[in-house]
Amino acid sequence: MQRKAASLSVKELAQRVQGTVLGDSALTISGVCSLDAATAGHLSFIRSKSSEHLMRELLPLPAIALLVSREIAPQSKPKTAATIIVVPDAYLAFVDLLPLFVEEDVRAPGIHPTAVVASDARIGKDASIGAYCVIGTGASIGDAAVLHPHVRVYDGAQIGSHAQLFSGVVVREECIIGDRVTIHDNSVIGADGFGYIPDPTAKVRKVPQIGNVVIGDDVEIGASTCIDRGAIGSTRIGRGTKIDNLVQIGHNTVIGAFCFVCGGTGIAGSCTVGDGVVIGGACGIADHCEIVSGVRLGGWTGVVTSLTEPGDYAGFPAMKAGDWRRQQVRLLRLTREKSVGRA
């Protein structure tokens, strides 16, 4: 991302997000800032849930433009140097306005002279192949796809149109990446699954991993995430799913559409995750578990058996979040009672 040399009035910004201005509509805005580093002439937002908290935040602010959700906004301009733009949803409006002040790094189409591309690889129209990329035999790169430097695409792999693979990404043999997929630095798609069996001679014998990974359209995968290829068949990631950094997904697991998988999570092999599932940070899911659509897992939840009802879960082993909270309260009370008894 690069900063744009933007210069827009508060009035212009408000018009773009159907906002109402409380304050100086002629104030010129040239960038964005966070509230804890508020800079005059910049745009920020507040996600406060109460009018009282909002007023405390407003008082020390310099002459910035501040997006405020309508449900907590004051009726008139308060005593602050900041100008308020009242909108239905402050964060959503900020996301809408952010592209006015930053721009993505656009890569020119073409193949860098240091890239190694197999003679039978297909490179789509307007694709950009960066320095030291390696594209194997029979591989396919879609139209307008961007491969940043040092990406490795193995034999027979397919990369969809408008996909973006950042430096160090590896896509192994025969894996399929959909359209408009983003994969961040150093992630590995299609490494061998963790499959071994006891063997009387060799003690441990590796099970050949001959499947692949299929990633649907509009998926985004964070940095240093690993998605293992199927032992037989495919590991699948559904359309629109977002996966954070440092996530491990085991072989033959199937994740549905529009799921969120937060950082540090490990999902073992042959799991099935429904649509719209939210998996908090550092969760662990045992092999062959099924998680139905509509489940939300709190951070550090451990799933050891299938979850067959939608809802919120927490704890280890995973249980309904309400039950887990009550359990924690009882444990705390019991601990305090024992401490008092010993005293």
| Residues 63 and 82 sit within 8 Å (Cβ to Cβ) | yes
> In the prediction, which pLDDT does 337 show?
77
In whole angstroms, what is the distance from residue 309 CA to residue 102 CA? 43
| pLDDT tier at 5, thresholds 50, 70, 90 | low
pLDDT digits (tens, 9 = 90+) for 20-59: 999 999 999 999 999 999 999 999 999 877 888 899 999 9
Nearest alpha carbon to residue 38 among 64, 20, 3: 64
In whole angstroms, what is the distance from residue 138 CA to residue 171 CA? 13
Nearest alpha carbon to residue 244 among 187, 304, 285, 302: 187
Question: Is it the case that residue 152 has pLDDT exceeding 70?
Answer: yes
- Lay out the sheet containing 110-111: strands in order across: 110-111, 128-129, 146-147, 164-165, 182-183, 220-221, 242-243, 260-261, 278-279, 295-297, 311-314, 319-320
Buried b (16+ CB within 10 A) or exposed e, 205-229: eeeebebbbbbbbbbebbbbbbbbb
- What does pLDDT average to over the chain? 95
In whole angstroms, what is the distance from residue 199 CA to residue 338 CA? 51
Mean pLDDT on 95-124: 94
In whole angstroms, what is the distance from residue 201 CA to residue 214 CA? 35
Cα distances (angstroms) measured from residue 171 to each of 22, 139, 164, 176, 226: 51, 10, 12, 9, 10
Query: Environment class of residue 36 by beta-carbon count within 10 Å: exposed (0-12), middle (13-18) or buried (19+)?
Result: exposed
- Which long-range contacts (C-beta less than 8 Å, at least 24 apart) are formed by 276-281? 281/244
pLDDT digits (tens, 9 = 90+) for 230-254: 999 999 999 999 999 999 999 999 9
Catalytically annotated residue among 150, 162, 251, 288:
251
Helices (H), the chain: 10-16, 51-58, 90-97, 321-342
Q: What is the CATH number of domain 172-322?
A: 2.160.10.10
In whole angstroms, what is the distance from residue 33 CA to residue 169 CA? 31
**Which amino acid is located at 170 in the chain?**
V
Give percent of the chain above pLDDT 90. 90
Structural fold of domain 2-103: 3.40.1390
Q: What is the model's pTM?
A: 0.92
> In the prediction, which pLDDT does 202 show?
83
42 as an active site residue: the answer is no
> In the prediction, which pLDDT does 1 show?
66
Query: Environment class of residue 1 by beta-carbon count within 10 Å: exposed (0-12), middle (13-18) or buried (19+)?
Result: exposed
Question: Is it the case that residue 104 has pLDDT exceeding 90?
Answer: no
In whole angstroms, what is the distance from residue 212 CA to residue 235 CA? 6
Residue 29 is given by DSSP the state E
Query: Environment class of residue 239 by beta-carbon count within 10 Å: exposed (0-12), middle (13-18) or buried (19+)?
Result: middle
Residues carrying CATH 2.160.10.10, the chain: 172-322
Question: Helix or strand or coil: residue 13?
Answer: helix
Overall residue count recorded for the chain in this entry = 343
Question: Is it the case that residue 341 has pLDDT exceeding 70?
Answer: no
